[in-house]
């Protein structure tokens, strides 16, 4: 299959309807692909019913669609089976689920290792766990370019470590975490590993078996699927060892006045009515993504990112956040402009039809490491093209004339 950014863009109805929009906020939310939209529309028009509880034909069709979505997610992740896929409301919900369920087995003095590059979703739940259970948090330091500094890993992953929880790729710098040494260090002390994959899944298929981790979380809306749905993948034995987080319908084995027993995973972690149509859309989006020519698409986005960084580098007063080279990084480019607030720059850019994000990007500890309060961020995916990059660079020059 050959790749064309213009053809790929045509698979996204909003972008097709707004040809003058230069959408570069993909790290926050990717646009909805037609495969997901069609799947959701078809499901809602033909198979809408609750799952698990119905014995009539429509409900059985809803059950089948929901479980097929679980299989599609498992295939995208190269999971051992669909029983390892827990549907959640998103990455934040998935990590909170794990912080509560896994955290129930931790005692005061046990350690959770994070990094200073984490999104708040992989930061705040563990701070809350510290308040509840008295666990200790250890924070891996960062190199000057924002990459994790793993040179003193043995000092941070001690015998008291029970979990290492890190991002697969930073939502600010785009830097991809070298997971292998972290997994090895965790295994050496019997600790589990959670990876926040929110920024990785939209850039190609993820192989959790090859990564060797225990848990992986991501959101549908980053992967060109609906909002309100996400995934916590976990190894079967790791999920089976966890208690439930929420109680209610769908997650029980048997309820009596005296006690309740739990269903096996993944049902144990899916209390109440799940995001059925959203899960169907997510499965369809991931199936579509699996069939794409990712080698060509990665080359395309790398060329765009290089052109963008080259164009930004000549602007006076601009400072990059993150590594300058494109090795082991995603096409996420964040920067500051001397004397210009990121929000003001974004407002000027919006007047040029350019949609980018400005602020701390829910990564304030990382911003503190860089000594800034916020930054402008442009994030690229395969439907972006040279016109998007050109419009951003032109808009920034206009912003600097007006605000500098």
Q: How many CA atoms lie within 13 A of 383 on its CB side?
A: 25
Query: In terms of C-beta distances under 8 Å and separation of at least 24 residues, what long-range contacts does 40-45 make, across chains too?
Result: 40/226, 40/277, 40/278, 40/280, 40/281, 40/284, 43/276, 43/277, 43/280, 43/281, 44/277
Residues contacting 299, CB < 8 A, separation 6+: none
**Residues 322, 122: Cα–Cα separation, whole Å:** 19
**Residues 380, 330: Cα–Cα separation, whole Å:** 8
Contact 264/116 with Cβ under 8 angstroms?
Answer: no
Bridge-based pairing of strands 354-355 and 260-262 is: unpaired
**Residues 41, 230: Cα–Cα separation, whole Å:** 19
Contact 169/333 with Cβ under 8 angstroms?
Answer: no
Q: What are the tokens at 134?
A: 């008295």
- Which helix (H) or strand (E) element contains residue 98? helix 91-103
Exactly one of 33, 346, 362, 369 is catalytic; which is it? 362
Q: What are the tokens at 162?
A: 């029970």
**Residues 138, 140: Cα–Cα separation, whole Å:** 7
| Torsion angles phi and psi, residue 160, rounded to 5 | -90, -5
Is 362 an active-site residue? Answer: yes
Dihedral sign for Cα atoms in the order 150, 310, 379, 78: negative
Of 96, 98, 105, 101, nearest to 125 by C-alpha is 96
**Residues 244, 264: Cα–Cα separation, whole Å:** 10
DSSP 268: G
Residues labelled catalytic: 362
């Amino acid at each position: 299959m050959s790749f064309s950014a213009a053809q790929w863009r045509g698979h996204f109805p909003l972008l097709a309807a707004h040809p003058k929009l230069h959408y570069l906020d993909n790290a926050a939310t990717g646009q909805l692909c037609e495969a997901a939209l069609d799947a959701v529309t078809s499901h809602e028009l033909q198979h809408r019913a609750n799952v698990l509880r119905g014995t009539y034909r429509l409900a059985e069709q809803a059950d089948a669609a929901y479980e097929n979505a679980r299989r599609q997610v498992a295939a995208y992740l190269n999971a051992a089976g669909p029983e390892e896929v827990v549907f959640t409301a998103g990455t934040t919900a998935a990590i909170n689920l794990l912080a509560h369920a896994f955290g129930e087995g931790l005692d005061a003095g046990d350690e959770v290792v994070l990094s200073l590059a984490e999104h708040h979703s992989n930061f705040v739940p563990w701070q809350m766990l510290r308040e509840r259970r008295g666990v200790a948090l250890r924070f891996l330091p960062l190199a000057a370019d924002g990459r994790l500094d793993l040179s003193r890993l043995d000092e941070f992953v001690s015998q008291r470590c029970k979990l290492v929880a890190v991002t697969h790729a930073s939502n600010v710098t785009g830097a991809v975490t070298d997971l292998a040494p972290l997994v090895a260090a965790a295994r050496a002390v019997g600790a589990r590993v959670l990876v926040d994959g929110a920024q990785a899944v939209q850039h190609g298929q993820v192989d959790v078996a090859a990564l060797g981790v225990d848990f992986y979380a991501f959101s549908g809306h980053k992967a060109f699927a609906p909002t309100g749905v996400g995934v916590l993948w976990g190894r079967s034995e790791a999920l089976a060892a966890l208690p439930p987080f929420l109680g209610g319908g769908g997650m029980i084995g048997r309820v009596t006045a005296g006690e309740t027993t739990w269903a096996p995973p993944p049902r144990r972690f899916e209390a109440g009515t799940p995001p059925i149509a959203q899960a169907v859309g997510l499965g369809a989006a991931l199936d579509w993504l699996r069939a794409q020519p990712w080698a060509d698409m990665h080359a395309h986005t790398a060329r765009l990112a290089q052109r963008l960084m080259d164009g930004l580098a000549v602007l006076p007063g601009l400072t990059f956040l993150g590594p300058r080279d494109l090795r082991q990084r995603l096409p996420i480019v964040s920067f500051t402009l001397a004397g210009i607030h990121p929000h003001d720059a974004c407002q000027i850019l919006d007047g040029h039809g350019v949609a980018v994000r400005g602020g701390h990007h829910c990564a304030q500890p990382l911003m503190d490491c860089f000594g800034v309060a916020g930054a402008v961020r442009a994030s690229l995916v395969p439907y972006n093209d040279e016109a998007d990059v050109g419009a951003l660079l032109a808009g920034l020059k206009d912003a600097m004339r007006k605000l500098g």
